[in-house]
Amino acid sequence: LYEIFNSVGPVGSIRVCRDGVSRRSLGYGYVNFHAVSDAERALDTLNYSSIKGRACRIMWSQRDPSLRKSGVGNIFVRNLDRNIDNKALYDTFSLFGNILSCKVACGPNGNSRGYGFVHYETEEAAKQAIERVNGMQIGDKTVEVTRFLKRDDREPAPLTYTNIYVKNVPPNFDEEMLKSMFGGYGTITSSAIMEDAKGRKFSFINFETTEAAQKAVEELNGKDLRTDEQKEEQKEDEEPELLYVGRAQTKAERAREFKAKSAPVAGSQARQQGVNLYVKNLDEDITDASLKELFEAFGTITSSVAMKDEKDKCKGFGFVCFASPDEATKAVTEMHLKVVKGKPLYVGLAEKKEARQERLRQRYQPGAGMMGKGGKDGMGKGMGK
């Protein structure tokens, strides 16, 4: 990285930000030039150039995160031609003002997802870009340009679906019985009964119309299909397995829902019941119970959660909450880097995502010379890649 940027002008310092545990690159870094003119030249000549086979984005370093989080000057570009890359998007929108950052969203294979983001320095530039580019043809497609809204600020789109997901299906049910139950709500175009690794049955049913699917969800979700014998055998402290019927979700939707449900476990319990520890590098066979067994020798555990994926396998990390700080400190001291099932554990204090990002930002922030635009006494502009 030093060799690439030093070819533009004398570099004062360079830092590639790395993960605190694995020391792997986080994919971004900071370059501090001695002279402002060299920093500007680097922006003009190296932006979107290829480094190790990946097109790098270069922008002025913004020390104040409130500018990024406020959403001021940020616009969303939809329906982009798949051939439009970061540079083409930048060239199109740079006519309307100074751009802080600009990117086309891409999938894991590097192909465009058909939308992108442009963040201007001022709200006026963003408004002008929306007025001038919205409805304009870029490449082979007519783009839609709007003000960027955070997920929480967006109006929920009306649910239109025909495919539903059914779980807690009784063991004796077959496809004919399922069609008989759901067929009364509308024409079924396809259906299938499957079993998970534990032999539990679930099903997907696709209706011809949204109305039929919504009616089936409304009337059958929570229906009790147990026999009288099963009801009598049900223990009082066990929750009955009622039929679950809901809209079939995409993998991304399930992941977001799972994350939303899991986050309170990791955060709120720690605040209410004690000190929460984050445990990483767990074996995939670790369960809540076995995680608790690993740590219960150090004190009273109020909760232990091994985070699971959709196949009910541990995702490699979990949380253990102790009743007192002393117990948690002892657990960290004894268990950090201890080898369990062939893997050295990482054990530390659990943090909120925002707090962790802020800590990493401060840890890897550039030197005193990297103060954003401007500079004097030989201190140039700081830059982030």
User: What would the pLDDT profile of 39-83 be if each residue is shown by its tens digit?
Assistant: 989 888 888 788 887 778 888 887 666 666 666 788 999 999 988
Q: What backbone torsions phi and psi does residue 319 show, to the nearest 5 degrees?
A: -135, 140
What is the C-alpha radius of gyration for the chain, rounded to an integer number of angstroms? 27
Is the pTM above the cut of 0.75? no
For the chain, percent of residues with pLDDT exceeding 90: 23
pLDDT number for residue 235: 65
Give first-to-last CA distance, the chain, whole Å: 10
**Mean pLDDT confidence for 255-264:** 69
Cα dist. 54→47, 51, 57, 86 in Å?
12, 5, 10, 11
pLDDT number for residue 87: 84
Q: Give the confidence band of 88 by pLDDT, cuts at 50, 70, 90.
A: confident
Structure tokens at 15: 């830092």
**What sections of the chain are H helices per DSSP?**
2-6, 36-46, 65-70, 86-93, 123-133, 175-182, 210-220, 228-233, 251-273, 288-295, 325-335, 353-363
Structure tokens at 380: 């140039």
Q: In terms of pLDDT, which residue wins out, 385 or 59?
A: 59
- Tell me the per-residue pLDDT of 144-162, one tens digit each, with 9 for 90 and over: 999 887 766 666 666 788 9
Residues facing residue 54 across a β-bridge = 51
- Do 150 and 70 touch, CB atoms closer than 8 A? no
- Do 300 and 322 touch, CB atoms closer than 8 A? yes
Residues facing residue 247 across a β-bridge = 164
Q: Give the confidence band of 213 by pLDDT, cuts at 50, 70, 90.
A: very high
Q: Give the confidence band of 272 by pLDDT, cuts at 50, 70, 90.
A: very low
